[in-house]
Amino acid sequence: MEAQIFVHGHRVDDRRGQLPVRAGAEPYGTRPLTAITQVVIHYSGVDRDDSAQAMALYQTTKQGGDLFPALAYHFVVHQNGEIEQCHHLATHTWHAGEPANTTGIAVCLPMLNGPSEAQLAAATTLRGALEVRLGRQLAVKGHSDFMATACPGPGWRQWRERLLGPPAPGGAREGLVGGVPVRWAFWDWYRRLEGLRPGLCGSPDGPHRLLGGGDAAQEFASCTLLWSEQRMWVGWKQFPGA
């Protein structure tokens, strides 16, 4: 079982294995995670912020077109920035034909005329989280990059650029690690990934201190990082004067 995706600053509800499926249909197969090279964006095409449950019910009961065995999308990103994870990344869903189905993570934004700011921020941060999980950069495509379709909606070429940017800060999260005040710096740390070795935050790897709950702190010359068993890792940086 894959760990649920942790997306900093955005609630992620785990719907895996809980959404409606088509009666009597062969379930989706699986694919190796190494096959994944891109995120493929979709929209719902209706002027409502539909839940994954509602979209799954529609897709698995309709009798025309593709007879989806289950919801097409791995993730649904809502207008308020909340996210639903609907399948494992390894699930081979139907959403944009081949080879996109094998190589893509399907992300649906329920909307008609363009995503909200919170949707864009959540989708961008989700992309970053998926890249961290998979350990590589992912291309960002729209359904219409693979076939003639209105999906993912008007203005796609313009708002696609937003999804390629750094994850939105999402509001500072502060706390104490070993009594030291630290402030969230997800992207600051993330963008250093390529420069991490040798030496992280200006020093060789320091020792881990277990904090309980699966978390561990690792201290360096210029920062403290907080790692989590449950959430892969989370990054913290100590700011001067914080």
Binding residues (CB under 5 A) for Zn ion: these are 42, 143, 151
Distance CA(71)–CA(17), nearest Å, equals 11
Q: What minimum distance in Å lies between the beta carbon of 143 and Zn ion?
A: 3
Q: What minimum distance in Å lies between the beta carbon of 71 and Zn ion?
A: 12
The SS3 of residue 227 is strand
In the chain, what is the straight-line distance between the N-terminal and C-terminal CA atoms, in Å?
39
* Strands 104-109 vs 38-43: parallel, antiparallel or unpaired: parallel
* Nearer to Zn ion (CB atom), residue 8 or residue 141: 141
* Nearer to Zn ion (CB atom), residue 151 or residue 217: 151
* Nearer to Zn ion (CB atom), residue 61 or residue 149: 149
Q: What minimum distance in Å lies between the beta carbon of 47 and Zn ion?
A: 16
Quick one: how far is CA 135 from the chain centroid?
13
* Nearer to Zn ion (CB atom), residue 43 or residue 187: 43
Distance CA(68)–CA(129), nearest Å, equals 27
Distance CA(6)–CA(37), nearest Å, equals 19
* Nearer to Zn ion (CB atom), residue 52 or residue 151: 151
Q: What minimum distance in Å lies between the beta carbon of 109 and Zn ion?
A: 10
CA nearest 134: which of 53, 59, 34? 34
Q: What minimum distance in Å lies between the beta carbon of 68 and Zn ion?
A: 12
Backbone angles phi, psi at 122, to 5 degrees: -65, -40
